Amino acid sequence: MTQETKYTEDNIRSLDWKEHIRMRPGMYIGKLGDGSSADDGIYILLKEVLDNSIDEYVMGAGKTIEVSVQGNRVTVRDYGRGIPLGKVVDVVSKMNTGGKYDSRAFKKSVGLNGVGTKAVNALSSFFKVESTRDGKSASAEFSEGNLKDEDLTDETTRRKGTKVSFVPDETIFKNYKYRNEYIIKMLKNYVYLNPGLTIVFNGEKYFSENGLKDLLNDNINPSDKIYPIIHLRGDDIEVAMTHHKTQYSEEYHSFVNGQNTTQGGTHLAAFREALVKTIREFYNKNFEAADVRKSVVSAVSIKVMEPVFESQTKTKLGSTDMGGDLPTVRTYINDFVKTQLDNFLHKNPETAEKMLRKILQAERERKELSGIRKLAKDRAKKASLHNKKLRDCRVHFGDLKHDRRLDSTLFITEGDSASGSITKSRDVNTQAVFSLRGKPLNSYGMSKKIVYENEEFNLLQAALNIEESMEDLRYNNIVIATDADVDGMHIRLLLITFFLQFFPELIKEGHLYILQTPLFRVRNKKETIYCYSEEERRNAIEKLKPKPEITRFKGLGEISPDEFKHFIGDNIRLDPVMMDNNMSVEGLLEFYMGKNTPDRQEFIINNLKVELDLVEELKA
């Protein structure tokens, strides 16, 4: 008979604000991560601090924000009004304290609930806030949310404003590293949404004159636009859009009160609906919605009073009202698009004609593919019933919290042994496995038809659920897991070609990764170290001397499920697949997968030399 567990007053415990944040960080900043993904916690910490500086600019205080990231130390300096000196400690360490509860001061603020900087404070091993105003300054220094030092009345000649410095706690964010590419994208979004604002990052200036029009111009190669960007502005709304020449699916950049709502929400749904309705009425033809929106690339920004988001990280708008005396979000956006887009098309007949040709082309392609699509969907359904290719995770079956979807991952791997090892060692709650059979087809230059005719591509597309829209993507992270040899590299390249050819926005939005797996295992009787490079191997040998056992892994299939748990769990290492916005998708594919050119030969030779040098060093 089991002993009954006692439940008394001693079992009841109250956590203070910092203990609760440190114990449940996901409630405040989403997932933790290590910096390999744009939505990892360390970037949310930076965003939370930046939001306060942006709000100062919106209120007309301070036209420049300086951001510095040196190693793990982040510093944000604005030239706004400065925190009231007597409240410097309170605003970063007392919950439900801040200026944004007063709607007179912050009507359409980014952060509304007074939690952001408190979370940064609690989750940082070092946190310092300094405020300057009226010729005086105040500062406070914390560690893990605990006040360590406070100085309230220094006289100063410094310019007014607020400076925040912090170091994310390595005991919470394991093995993290800031990636400049993600920071720069975040900062660019801030300047697009706030024309006239200058952000200086590590000495580099970012500035925008034309708002969302600049965003699309910076993200689309000039040769890929069907027609010049349509740019529409209202009091609380801004829209920029065009159709892409080669991209198949829709791509949206959506924002609410300056927050990048990567998961969309009521405003994006309203825009997609309004776009179709307006175009149908303008051309007086009942187009299929999918034909109108196919290849659309658009940016949408609205401002809402007291917005309601579906999580603390504010990635999806839940509000249905604009606030105040304004109508619903849906009505407001419908009215704006109907009036402004219709007027624009009437005034720009050349753009209207190019748009019409693109929609009619999409209609023809859809009809040509209709029969193939039906057969492909039937095959995908039958395959999923027998679960031959996909071992899914529980996050999609309704028994886990919705916010766990941020952690959902699909590993794409090749070979029974590698697939078996990952399947046995994965976290069944959030990690799924898709098994390839041999090398996928080289899809370069092929039409969308091949996605439905090729079994591997058809089933992969069905597993990801991305045929119609990226909004329906089932996994936040898609990870290519192949051997670190020539065949594995080739499979990676073929898969990246598939995504670039048919779903480039999956890469643009930061969902695709390469799994790093160890090349060596160095161990003695007391300790085992897994090494991902020759330098790590040398360091491990030095640490475990004398003469530890060294194993060289040749493929994923050689790594046992027990060992694999180390590489796809908390210690997972991912390399994000990123695109250079200065090169078109067609240009990328042509260089890597097109005819063998002198430039590509030189590229291969130079990179092959690096690999050969490493091989010779390993032999020695």
What percent of the chain lies above the pLDDT cut of 90? 38
Fold assignment, 17-207: Heat Shock Protein 90 (3.30.565)
Is the pLDDT reported for residue 312 higher than 60?
Answer: no
Q: How far apart are CA 337 and CA 300, in angstroms?
A: 11
Spatial contact of 431 and 576, defined as CB atoms under 8 Å apart: no
- Provide the pLDDT for residue 360: 95
Residue keyed to tokens 């304290």: 97
- Provide the pLDDT for residue 566: 82
- Provide the pLDDT for residue 237: 93
Give the model's confidence band at 583: pLDDT under 50 very low, under 70 low, under 90 confident, else very high. Answer: low
Q: How far apart are CA 68 and CA 70, in angstroms?
A: 6
Q: Which residue has the higher pLDDT, 389 or 382?
A: 389
- Provide the pLDDT for residue 104: 46
Is the pLDDT reported for residue 58 higher than 80?
Answer: yes
- Provide the pLDDT for residue 261: 86
Segments of the chain assigned to CATH 3.40.50.670: 387-517+555-582
Strand-strand pairing, 73-78 and 64-70:
antiparallel
Give the model's confidence band at 615: pLDDT under 50 very low, under 70 low, under 90 confident, else very high. Answer: very low
Q: How far apart are CA 93 and CA 147, in angstroms?
A: 9
For the chain, state the CA radius of gyration: 26
Is the pLDDT reported for residue 611 higher than 70?
Answer: no
- Provide the pLDDT for residue 114: 54
- Provide the pLDDT for residue 1: 46
- Provide the pLDDT for residue 76: 97
Give the model's confidence band at 386: pLDDT under 50 very low, under 70 low, under 90 confident, else very high. Answer: very low
Q: Which residue has the higher pLDDT, 247 or 108?
A: 247
- Provide the pLDDT for residue 375: 73
Report, as an integer, the average pLDDT of 476-502. 87
Q: How many CA atoms does the CB half-sphere of 92 hold within 13 Å?
A: 37
User: What is the tens place of the pLDDT at every residue in 214-247?
Assistant: 999 998 888 889 999 999 999 889 999 999 988 8
- Provide the pLDDT for residue 584: 62
Q: Which amino acid is at 459?
A: L
Report, as an integer, the average pLDDT of 531-547. 88
Is the pLDDT reported for residue 105 higher than 70?
Answer: no
pTM (two decimals): 0.81
Q: First CA to last CA across the chain, in angstroms?
A: 63
82-96, 125-139, 418-432: segment of lowest average pLDDT: 82-96
Q: How far apart are CA 267 and CA 316, in angstroms?
A: 9
309-313, 337-341, 500-504: segment of lowest average pLDDT: 309-313
User: What is the tens place of the pLDDT at every residue in 417-437?
Assistant: 778 888 888 989 889 999 988
- Provide the pLDDT for residue 112: 42
Provide CB contacts within 8 A for 560, sequence distance 6+.
Answer: 421
Report, as an integer, the average pLDDT of 314-331. 77
Report, as an integer, the average pLDDT of 356-367. 93
SS3 53: helix
Q: How far apart are CA 124 and CA 173, in angstroms?
A: 10
Alpha-helical (H) ranges within 410-485 are 416-425, 449-453, 455-464
Report, as an integer, the average pLDDT of 510-524. 89
Report, as an integer, the average pLDDT of 251-259. 89
- Provide the pLDDT for residue 456: 87
Segments of the chain assigned to CATH 3.30.565.10: 17-207
Is the pLDDT reported for residue 322 higher than 90?
Answer: no
Give the model's confidence band at 595: pLDDT under 50 very low, under 70 low, under 90 confident, else very high. Answer: low
- Provide the pLDDT for residue 617: 46
Is the pLDDT reported for residue 10 higher than 60?
Answer: no
Q: Which residue has the higher pLDDT, 403 or 446?
A: 446
- Provide the pLDDT for residue 620: 42
Fold assignment, 212-365: Ribosomal Protein S5; domain 2 (3.30.230)
Is the pLDDT reported for residue 344 higher than 90?
Answer: yes
For all residues of the chain together, what is the average pLDDT? 83
Is the pLDDT reported for residue 103 higher than 50?
Answer: no
DSSP designation for 191: H
Q: Which residue has the higher pLDDT, 569 or 53?
A: 53
Architecture of domain 387-517+555-582: 3-Layer(aba) Sandwich (3.40)
Residue keyed to tokens 């605003």: 91
Give the model's confidence band at 46: pLDDT under 50 very low, under 70 low, under 90 confident, else very high. Answer: very high
DSSP conformation letters of 240-268: EEEEBSS--S-EEEEEETTEE-TT-BHHH
